[in-house]
Structure 1
C-alpha cells in the first residue's frame, strides 16, 4: 500500500491474536468519532491534497474513497475482521474464480461458464447462478480438496464457513434443498436452504456431519429465516469442536446453536470438493438460483465477536451502497476516442437527464460531467475537450443518486479509424419475401445501401457457377449435376436459381 501521511496523523498497530490472523483496518477519527474506516487491503494510497489541508484515500482502481479536512483528523491502524486462511473466493470479470487464501486451492467452473457482474454495492464481481432451485445444476464453481491433507486436517479440527448470498425465485419458495456453498455427500459440511421436515422449514441452515461413532450424523443448525428473493444475507456457520456446538449466524446475529459432539465425517471420496452454486457429489447437484457475493472457509471456530466483525465489513458496504439506477451495463474498454466523438454505453434503466461522470484514475481533479443522450441500447456521451489518454471511473448520476459503472481505458487520438462495414448475409431476406441468395435478396441489400452482400457459389459438372445457399436444391446436388439439370429449379419465392453472372 502506498501511503503519504501528514505528521499530525498517528499510526497505531494492534497485535493480532496468537492463532487467528486479522486484517488491519484504517480508521479515521475526528473529535474522537469515527468518520471513516475500511480494510487496509482496500486502500491503495493515502495522500495529502489541496496544500496539505485535505486527506484523500484512493482505492486500487484509483477512485476516491474518502476525503476529509486534515485538521483534527487522527488515523489509526486497528485490528479488523479475521482472515479466511483456508478458502477465500474472489469472482472475476471473465466468469472464473480465484482462491486468494494462503492455500490457493484450484477453482474450476462448469463447461458453460458462470455469469459474473460488477456489483456496485459490494464493489466486487459477484457470481450469478441460474440453476433450477434445488434441482438441475448447470452453473457452478468447484473447489477440490480431496488430495489436500492439510485442508482436510484443518476442516476436521473445527471450522467456520461464511457466505453472502441472494436468492432468486418467484414466491412461494420451492420446497427443496438448495445449496449455495456446500460439500455434502454422506458427510461433509455446508451452507444451504433446507427443505421442510418435521419442525424444519425452508430456512438458511448450517449443516455439518459430526459423529461420535463414525457413522453419518447430520447436525441441523437452522436459522428460522426463509430467504426472501432479491435480498442479501450474510450467513456464517461455525463448528466448534471443543465446545461441541454447531452455530449459525445471519447478519451478525446468532440464530441457533445445536449439539455437535464428535469428529467430522468426510464426504465420499468422489465428492470431496466444495460447490459454489451447488452441492458436491459425484456430479454437481441441488443447484442454487441467485447470487453469491463471497464464499470463505476459516481454520477456526470463530467467536461471536469475530463473526460480528465479519458482519460489520459486509454491513459497511450495504450502508454505503449507492442506488441501483441501471442494469446490464456493457461498454468497450481500450476504445479510441477524440474530443467531439460519442462514447457508447449499453444498459437498461437509463433515463432522460442522466449524466455520466468521468474521473481519471488517481487524479480526482481531472473529472468531467457529461450529459447522457438516450439511445435504443443505452446512452451515448460526447467526449469533451481536454480528455486525455488514461483510465477513468464511469459513474452515472441522477440527481443526488449515483452508481459506479466500472473502470475503462480511453485512448485519445487525432483521427478515429474507420469503423466496420455491414455486409448482408445471403442478402436481405429475413424481413422480406425474398429467398436467401436470390436476386430479390441482393436487390433488397442494395436498397439498404449496405457495404456488401455475401452469397454462396457452386460449380456444376460442366462449369456453370450457380447461386444457392445449400449444396443441393430441391434434392439435386449442384456439384454432381449439369447446368441443364439445375437451371430450371425454383427457390422458395418462385425465383429461378441464378448464375453468378446474373448477380454480377
Structure 2
C-alpha cells in the first residue's frame, strides 16, 4: 500500500470518481479504517495481451473510497465501471507496435492517506506488414521537372523537357506527378519524356533476368483503341513494360497490359498478360506486372486484384541495342521515344523479385485513391503567360479550349506545396474570331510578395488537371511589357497571298499590318549592287550573287513573279511608311573583303535616301556588326551569332543581341536579364508557334522576329494580366 495526500490528486489531471456507495459528504474526522485493493492481474502489476481484456479491481474497506485515472495519458482505458466494491476497466486491442502503460490509483475517502496504485502494461501490437521497397528503380519527380531514382541503385534519370510534359503537385498522392499530352502512340519523339538506362548496370540487368515486378500508377486522358501507347516500358524487339493494347489484340479490348518478352528459343516472344480493364479517362489505376521465372508465368494486377495471366517460360529477351532503357511517358526506341503516352504517371518502380499477391495488396494499400470521381478533361491550345508581374486583385487569364463554366484554378507553390489557394474563374466562351475560351482568375489578397513559382491545376468536380506552371512576381505596381513585332523577311504568309519572302510585296504587307518592323537580307553583287535575297543564289538559278554582276541576275524572278529586288527599290517602298523600321541583315559573304563591300554599299544607299534613323542592322559576322556600329552610330546594331554573352556585346557598344529562341534563349533565359542589366536590347528569332511566342513574352524580350506577324499581333492584343477596376 502506498500512502499519499489528497492534495496531490487535486493538482493533477486525474479524473476522480466516487464509488456509488460513497456519495455522502465525508465530514467526520479521519479515523483508522481497513483499506485494500486486489485485481485479476497476475502479478498485480502485470502485463495484459495486446488483444485486450477486462481488468477487475476489488476494494475491501469499511469506509468510503474513490479512484483516479490520468485520462490525458491513458485515454485507451475505456468504460471504467463501478459495481459496488469493484471497478472494471475494458482494455481494447493495442493497434500500435509499442508497449503502453497506465496507472490506476485507489484512495480511501475516509482516510485519504491510504492509497493503492496499480500499473497496467499492455503488450505491443503486432508490427503490421510493410509494402516491399523497390530495389532496382523507384522514380520520384521534382517540382523543377527533373526526376531521381531513390532506390538503392540510384540510377540516373534523364529528363527531356518539352511542351507535351508538365508536372504538378497532387493533393491525394502527396507528391509531384507528371502529365503527358502526346498524341497517343506517337513515335519518334525527341522530348517530353524521361529515360533510365539500365543495361550496363549488371545488378539491374540480372534483377530483370531472374524474374521481376514493375509497378506504375497511371491515369489515361484518352484512348480510342487504335494505337498502342505506353506509360512505362522498355520495349523494342524485346524487353518488358506496360501498355494500353489496341482494341482486339488477342481477342481482348483495349486494356491495361503487362508485356514481357520471354523465350525458350532465344527468339522474340511476347507474353501478353492482359487485364481486360479498359482505362476510363480521368481515373487513376494502380498497376503491377509480375514475371515469375520459376512459375513460368506473367501476371497483371490492377488495383490490387489479379486480372490476367500468361504463360511465360524461358529467358528474358531484352530490347535491341540502343533501346535498352526504360521510358516514362512512352517506350524506349533507338534515338528517340515511341508509343507516346497521353495521361499521367504518378510513380514508376522496378523490383528484383517476383512479388506475391499479398505483397502487391500492400503496394495497392499505399497507393489507393479511394472515392475518386473520374473526370475526362479534353484541354487543348493552352495559352498563358508563364512569367509576369502581378498584384492582389489583379486578374490573370488562361486561354484554351475544353474549359467549362464552374471550373476553378488551383495555384500551389512549387517551393512549399502546403502554400496553395484555389480561385473561382470567370469563364468566357469562344466567339467570333476568337476561337479560344478563357478562364479569368482574380488573385486574392495575402498572396506572398516577391517572386514565386506556382503549379496551376484546373479543378472540376473534385478532380484536377495540370495547366502548367507560372512564375508570379507579386508587387504593388506590376507592369507587363510586350515585345515589338518584326516580320521575318516581310509578311509573306500568315493571312496573305501572292507574296514571297524578301519581296516588295512582303514588305508592303508588313506595312499594312502596322507592326514595328520588317526584316530583310542583303547580298552584294560582284559589281557592288546590293540586292535582297536570303540564299547565296536566287531560286531557279545556280548563279552565286556575290560572284555575279548585277546584269546577270537582274531579270531573275521570285516565286510571286517579282524581279529580284535591289536595296534601292526596297528602301523606296520602306520610305512610304515612316512608322515602320527596316531591319537589314547583311549576309555573311565568302570573304571579309566582300563583307566590307556589302557594309559600305548598304550604308551609302541608306544615307543617300536620308533613312539613317529608319534602318537598323543585324549580322552573324561580328566584325560586320562592329563596322556598322562605327558607320551608323545612331542606328540599332544587333548580333545574331548566339555565341557571345550579353556583357561582351554591350562592351563593344552594340545595341543588342538577336538570338535564336529555340537553340539559345530557351537554353539561356538568364541572358535576357543580363542584357537588360547591361543596357542592351534582346530580339528573339524565328518564333512561329504560339507557345514559343508566349515563352518569349514571358522572358521579357524586346522584339520577336516571326514568320507569323499577324498571329503575334493578335496574341499581343489579348489581355493576360489586367488591373482591378
> Smaller-chain TM-score range?
0.5 to 0.7
Matched residue, 1:99: 149
1:79 and 1:493, CA in 2 relative to 1: closer, same or farther beyond 3 A? farther
Which of 521, 525, 530 matches 1:460?
A: 525
Alignment partner of 1:422: what SS? strand
Alignment partner of 2:354: what SS? coil
1:296 aligns with 2:345: no
The offset of 1:249, in angstroms, is 1.4
Matched residue, 2:67: none
1:499 aligns with 2:560: no
Matched residue, 2:306: 254
Matched residue, 2:324: 273
1:222 aligns with 2:285: no
The offset of 1:203, in angstroms, is 6.1
Matched residue, 2:42: none
- For 2:254 and 2:479, the matched residues in 1 are separated by 57
Is the Cα–Cα contact under 8 Å of residues 425 and 440 in structure 2 kept in the other structure? Answer: no
TM-score, normalised relative to structure 1: 0.63
Matched residue, 2:388: 335
The offset of 1:368, in angstroms, is 5.8
**Aligned runs of 1:339-350 on 2, under 5 Å?**
343-350=396-403
**Aligned runs of 1:61-210 on 2, under 5 Å?**
81-90=131-140, 98-108=148-158, 115-118=164-167, 124-127=177-180, 130=183, 132=185, 138=189, 142-165=195-218, 166=220, 170-171=224-225, 173=226, 181-182=232-233, 189-192=240-243, 204-207=256-259
The offset of 1:421, in angstroms, is 0.5
Alignment partner of 1:455: what SS? strand
Which of 536, 544, 547 matches 1:480?
A: 547
1:232-289 deviation digits (Å, cap 9, x = unpaired): 653322244666654321232113456767x754538847834436666888898466
Q: Which stretch of structure 1 is more off in the superposition, 487-496 or 442-451? A: 487-496
- For 1:331 and 1:472, the matched residues in 2 are separated by 41
**Aligned runs of 1:279-428 on 2, under 5 Å?**
287=339, 290-291=342-343, 293=345, 294-316=347-369, 319=372, 324=377, 326-327=379-380, 329=382, 331-338=384-391, 343-351=396-404, 356=409, 369=424, 371=426, 376=434, 377=436, 378-381=438-441, 387=447, 388-391=449-452, 392=454, 394-396=456-458, 405=467, 407-413=469-475, 414=477, 416=479, 418-428=481-491
- For 1:299 and 1:188, the matched residues in 2 are separated by 15
The offset of 1:125, in angstroms, is 0.5
The offset of 1:124, in angstroms, is 0.9
1:236 aligns with 2:288: yes
- For 2:530 and 2:237, the matched residues in 1 are separated by 67
Is the Cα–Cα contact under 8 Å of residues 107 and 142 in structure 1 kept in the other structure? Answer: yes
Is the Cα–Cα contact under 8 Å of residues 213 and 289 in structure 2 kept in the other structure? Answer: yes
Is the Cα–Cα contact under 8 Å of residues 98 and 107 in structure 1 kept in the other structure? Answer: yes
1:470-497 deviation digits (Å, cap 9, x = unpaired): 4444636443344455556655354773
**Aligned runs of 1:419-438 on 2, under 5 Å?**
419-430=482-493, 431-438=496-503
Q: Which stretch of structure 1 is more off in the superposition, 314-323 or 157-166? A: 314-323
1:91 and 1:459, CA in 2 relative to 1: closer, same or farther beyond 3 A? same
Q: CA RMSD for the aligned pairs? A: 4.9
Aligned length: 420
Higher helix share: 2
- For 1:247 and 1:306, the matched residues in 2 are separated by 14
> Structure 2 unaligned runs (5+)?
1-126, 576-725
TM-score, normalised relative to structure 2: 0.46
The offset of 1:161, in angstroms, is 1.5
1:227 and 1:390, CA in 2 relative to 1: closer, same or farther beyond 3 A? same
Is the Cα–Cα contact under 8 Å of residues 268 and 317 in structure 2 kept in the other structure? Answer: no
1:91-120 deviation digits (Å, cap 9, x = unpaired): 67888754332212234578x979423476
1:405-441 deviation digits (Å, cap 9, x = unpaired): 4553311343526321111222233214455434443
The offset of 1:225, in angstroms, is 1.1
1:147 and 1:229, CA in 2 relative to 1: closer, same or farther beyond 3 A? same
| Larger radius of gyration between Structure 1 and Structure 2 | 2
Alignment partner of 2:213: what SS? strand
Alignment partner of 1:146: what SS? coil
- For 1:309 and 1:323, the matched residues in 2 are separated by 29
- For 1:183 and 1:399, the matched residues in 2 are separated by 36
Is the Cα–Cα contact under 8 Å of residues 187 and 216 in structure 1 kept in the other structure? Answer: no
- For 2:194 and 2:299, the matched residues in 1 are separated by 25
1:153 and 1:353, CA in 2 relative to 1: closer, same or farther beyond 3 A? closer
Alignment partner of 2:134: what SS? coil
- For 1:247 and 1:233, the matched residues in 2 are separated by 16
Which of 509, 512, 530 matches 1:447?
A: 512
> Structure 1 unaligned runs (5+)?
1-76
- For 1:327 and 1:78, the matched residues in 2 are separated by 46
- For 2:348 and 2:292, the matched residues in 1 are separated by 19
1:175-204 deviation digits (Å, cap 9, x = unpaired): xx8766455689765445679898888765
Higher strand share: 1
The offset of 1:219, in angstroms, is 8.9
